[in-house]
Amino acid sequence: MRRVASGDTEIAYQVLGSGPPLVLLHPFPVNHEFWLPAAQALTSRYQVILPDLRGHGASAPGDGPATMAKHAADIARVMDDAEVGRAPLAGVSIGGYILFEFWRRFRGRVAALALCNTKAAADSGEARHARLQAANEVEQKGTEVFFQGMLQKVLGATTRSTRPDVVDAALAMMRKTPPEGVAAVQRGMAERPDSLETLSSINVPVLLVTGDEDGMTGPPEAETMRRNIPGSALKVISRAGHYAPWERAEEAGPLLRQFLDSVHGN
């Protein structure tokens, strides 16, 4: 893993493959390993840059809430350190939230976007309260109960009932994120801005991906983005939940590869 200073923390990231660069942002509360299965379809043609987001895995949270502004600045620093000026970026869940902020702040560095299992709307008051409560609880009681609950939300019913290996590997990734990271990231997501008005400004190629068993964002949220992002394309992965690119990497990897090849005119 490479490391780069960013604001009040250091961001760890891995680089795989060679060729035109691509930045992949994982969901909460796992780490860059989330993308490794799907990246097998990419590294023969692309240089794949895989950060551990602030507060996740090997990247410490820094001080206070891990806001979308901090995350976006971190990704810019990673791109600087990897000598990447402009590239396609893909993000899952919080990765998508970060990419909306990245677009607002650094749109000249965005060649294309893949927004996976995410949504543009800010949290409701109820959802915000739940995040803040969860942040307090993990600081007091640790993360294990929280992670066990997350597995029920982020993995589709098919995965949970038929893929114990995928379930166990997801939990192992989560356990690499410490309580202080979970708390800081939850507080940062709770205060993220609404991005619905941002959608119509996105004028680069956009691929939207979701899972048909994603109960957290899913096809309705993806369809809202498709209607509001000019020229965007939507793909629904069957038998997959909120972690669709992890649950069905054998579908998600080629989908992303096809999209990137079209962006690069191949």
The answer to whether 234 and 259 have CB atoms below 8 angstroms apart is no
Averaged pLDDT for residues 189-212 = 98
- List the beta strands (DSSP E) in the chain: 2-6, 9-16, 21-25, 47-51, 87-92, 110-116, 206-211, 233-237
The answer to whether 48 and 15 have CB atoms below 8 angstroms apart is yes
Averaged pLDDT for residues 188-208 = 98
pLDDT at 106 > cutoff 90: yes
Q: What is the pLDDT of residues 16-35, one digit of tens each?
A: 999 999 999 999 999 999 99
Give the residue from 145, 33, 38, 31 showing the smallest Cα distance to 94: 31
**228-259 in b/e burial notation, b at 16+ Cβ within 10 A?**
bbeebebbbbebbbbbbbbbbbebbbebbbeb
pLDDT at 244 > cutoff 90: yes
pTM here?
Answer: 0.98
Q: Could you say which DSSP state residue 212 is in?
A: T
State both tokens at 141: 């009681």
pLDDT at 266 > cutoff 80: no
Sheet of 206-211, strand order: 2-6, 9-16, 47-51, 21-25, 87-92, 110-116, 206-211, 233-237
pLDDT at 51 > cutoff 80: yes
Confidence of residue 253 (pLDDT cuts 50, 70, 90): very high
Confidence of residue 265 (pLDDT cuts 50, 70, 90): confident
Domain spanning 2-263, CATH architecture: 3-Layer(aba) Sandwich (3.40)
Q: Which residue has the tokens 């994120």?
A: 177
The answer to whether 171 and 30 have CB atoms below 8 angstroms apart is no
Averaged pLDDT for residues 205-222 = 97
**pLDDT at position 12, please?**
98
Give the residue from 245, 218, 263 showing the smallest Cα distance to 41: 245
What would the DSSP string read from start to end of 92-111?
A: ETHHHHHHHHHHHHHGGGEE
Q: What is the pLDDT of residues 109-168, one digit of tens each?
A: 999 999 999 999 999 999 999 999 999 999 999 999 999 999 999 999 999 999 999 999
All residues at 6 or more sequence positions from 4 whose CB lies less than 8 Å from its CB, including other chains:
10, 11, 13, 77, 78, 80, 81
Q: What is the pLDDT of residues 83-101, one digit of tens each?
A: 999 999 999 999 999 999 9
Q: What is the rounded radius of gyration, in angstroms, for the C-alpha atoms of the chain?
A: 17
Q: What is the average pLDDT score of the chain? A: 97
What is the rounded end-to-end Cα distance, in angstroms, of the chain? 30
Q: Which residue has the tokens 């490391």?
A: 3
